[in-house]
Amino acid sequence: MSYNVILTNDGEIDGFSLLNEKGIKTFHYPMIKILASNTDVFFKLEDYDFFIFTSKNGVNYFFDKQKIKLQDTSSIKVICIGSKTALEIQKYEIDPVFVAKRSYSNILFNELKDLKMLDSKTVMLVQGNLAKNYLFENLNMICYLTKFVPYKTEIIKGLNKKLEILLSKEETYTVFTSPSGFLSFDNLYDVNKTSIISIGETTSAFIKERGYDPFVTSLMQSYEGIAETIISKLKII
């Protein structure tokens, strides 16, 4: 039996390579696009005790937009959500002082609160335009916080005929890595024609709010974790 998996994330898909190794066909149809924001914010790195990054996009657009030179980063302290974000920050020759155990804002906040690392410190939170306010609102209670939005997420608005044909003719499984990606897909296509695979609880909660049930939710919030979840769920050896 052949399996068809649609990937809806923007950017690279190397993390899903295990699917192809197991003979699963993958099709990449991004449902969102990531762009640099139009907001110009000027600041000095030395004015902040800590910088918090919640995604790889945040890291890359922060350094690109601010045109920060590597020699300027030697003394900054960085906190990250997730191992992928931590690996991305290390490309800029920075070792994070703390990495959240799991990729959820509430877990990061609770861990930082317990450690009292940010108490009364000056902190910059780097997030995209669609990030929920949970982290900002809660961190604001324990530190002096500034939010910087270096990138924005836009949903795809045009119908892709090839994807429409694929959904109508083949049994498919579609991977959603964000609520915005699912919203875009739901606006354009018949969700009932595919089995939903979600990257994590936040995305799954949004999908359920829209009236659908995920076929499976990944236990690990990474592309590799999703691939392993799919293989396990489909019982592929």
How much is the average pLDDT of 178-187? 96
Mean pLDDT of 10-27: 93
DSSP result, the chain: ---EEEE--SS--GGGHHHHHTT-EEEE--SEEEEE-S------GGG-SEEEE-SHHHHHHHHHHHT--GGG-TT--EEEESHHHHHHHHTTT---SEEESSS-HHHHHHHHHHHT-STT-EEEEE--TT--SHHHHHHTTTSEEEEE--EEEEE--S--HHHHHHHHHS-EEEEE-SHHHHHHHHHHS-GGGSEEEESSHHHHHHHHHTT---SEE-SSSSHHHHHHHHHHHTT--
**pLDDT at residue 235, rounded to an integer:** 83
Residue 69 has pLDDT above 60, yes or no: no
- Confidence (pLDDT) at 100: 86
Q: What is the average pLDDT score of the chain?
A: 90
What pLDDT score does 108 carry? Answer: 86
For 189-198, the pLDDT digits (tens) are 999 999 999 9
Q: Judge: domain 4-31+156-233, CATH 3.40.50.10090.
A: yes
Residues of the chain with CATH 3.40.50.10090: 4-31+156-233, 36-152
Span 107-153, pLDDT tens digits:
888 888 888 999 999 999 999 999 888 899 999 999 999 999 999 99
Predicted confidence at residue 213, as pLDDT, reads 97
Regarding the domain delimited by 36-152, which CATH topology (the fold level of the hierarchy) does it fall under? Rossmann fold (3.40.50)
Q: Which of 79-93, 130-144, 201-215 has the highest mean pLDDT?
A: 201-215
In this prediction, residue 153 carries a pLDDT of 94
